[in-house]
Amino acid sequence: MSASAADIADLREMIAEPTTTTYTDAQLATLVESFALIDANELEPDDDSWTATYDLNAAAANIWGRKAAACAGLYDFSADGGTFHRSQAAKDMRAQARYYQARSAPSSLRAHIDHDYERDQQSDYWRDSSELQPASYIANAAEPDEDE
């Protein structure tokens, strides 16, 4: 499945690119599709019955990161009695990237501890534990604000 026109329109609003001058719809659709999620029925994107579900926040964070990289070389200067803070553009774009990254879908990792492994058997914690269940951990967090 491919990204819908509504997904593209929503992403355009998120990245402040209302026209196709910088990014074509095809480019944005390709980017959106690279952030496919498990759907409401818990089906993976490679399943034939999967309902198209995408992480637009992750796609927006990616675009804002690209925009910040393009402005990374801008510098501040003074001329004709005025001071120009062009580096502020990259700072603001990094802030937008962090904003959307913090709102992107969490990813998780299921870690299973093999209790038959010798090193684990040496631990009193595992030997005394009555519940030896695999645990899931959320592995997504907002990046610290390095500009402040």
Domain-wise residue ranges, the chain: 5-138
CA distances 66 to 32, 47, 70, 83, 94, Å, are 15, 31, 6, 26, 9
pTM (predicted TM-score): 0.70
Kindly tell me if the per-residue pLDDT of 137 is higher than 50: no
Which is more confidently placed, 109 or 6?
6
pLDDT in tens, 23-49: 999 999 999 999 999 899 988 898 999
- With 80 as the cut, is the pLDDT of residue 140 above it? no
Higher-pLDDT residue of 117 and 54 is 54
146 contacts 120 by C-beta, under 8 angstroms:
no
Backbone phi and psi for residue 80, each to the nearest 5 degrees, phi listed first? 50, 40
pLDDT band at 74 (very low <50, low <70, confident <90, very high): confident
Mean pLDDT for 118-138 is 51
Predicted pLDDT of residue 135: 47
Long-range contacts for 127-135 (Cβ within 8 Å, ≥24 apart)? 134/110, 135/110, 135/111
Report whether pLDDT(4) > 90.
yes
